[in-house]
Amino acid sequence: MAMTERDELVRSLSGLALFADLGDPDLEAIADPEWERSFAAGERVLRRGLSGGGLFVILDGEAAVEIPDEREPRRLRRGDFFGEVSTLLVCKPTADVVARTELHCLEIPGPQLEGFLLQYPHVTFRMLQTVTRRLRDLLE
């Protein structure tokens, strides 16, 4: 029996800043196997121009945001999230996100994101902090 696998998923989530305020019952509720996604190195995770994607949180591995005409792709690592703009605004992504290594993510489907963020306001607050930090970095 894969006794440690579930522990690892819950433990993995509990170690992320985004979920730091949640207790084990909440983490178990979030650790939905249907939300777990695994990508091989080189695989596209988010596709520019494709509607209907979700919010991805990296559990393990590394990805890169590839925007046309931008020379240096932005690196994403464990704990980073992406897809929030297209999911929250219900629009098509303007960049590709490609797995740089084997990549393990949690994908919260777009239609379920609103309910998720309302159910876990601490996660929403920490997400808002991150998005605000990204905005500040862009403006500086």
Q: First-to-last CA distance in the chain?
A: 51
- Our CB check for other proteins shows the closer of 47 and 100 to be 47
CB 46 within 8 A of CB 94: no
- Our CB check for other proteins shows the closer of 21 and 32 to be 32
- Our CB check for other proteins shows the closer of 11 and 133 to be 11
**Using CA atoms, how far apart are residues 25 and 127, in angstroms rounded to an integer?**
20
**Using CA atoms, how far apart are residues 134 and 128, in angstroms rounded to an integer?**
10
Backbone angles phi, psi at 70, to 5 degrees: -100, 125
CB 133 → other proteins: shortest distance, Å? 28
- Our CB check for other proteins shows the closer of 38 and 129 to be 38
Residues engaged in binding other proteins (CB under 8 A): 1-7, 9, 23-26, 28-29, 31-34, 36-38, 40, 44, 47-54, 92, 102, 107, 109-112, 119
CB 50 → other proteins: shortest distance, Å? 6
CB 21 → other proteins: shortest distance, Å? 14
Question: Which two three-digit tokens encode residue 105?
Answer: 């993510």
**Using CA atoms, how far apart are residues 11 and 115, in angstroms rounded to an integer?**
23
CB 137 → other proteins: shortest distance, Å? 28
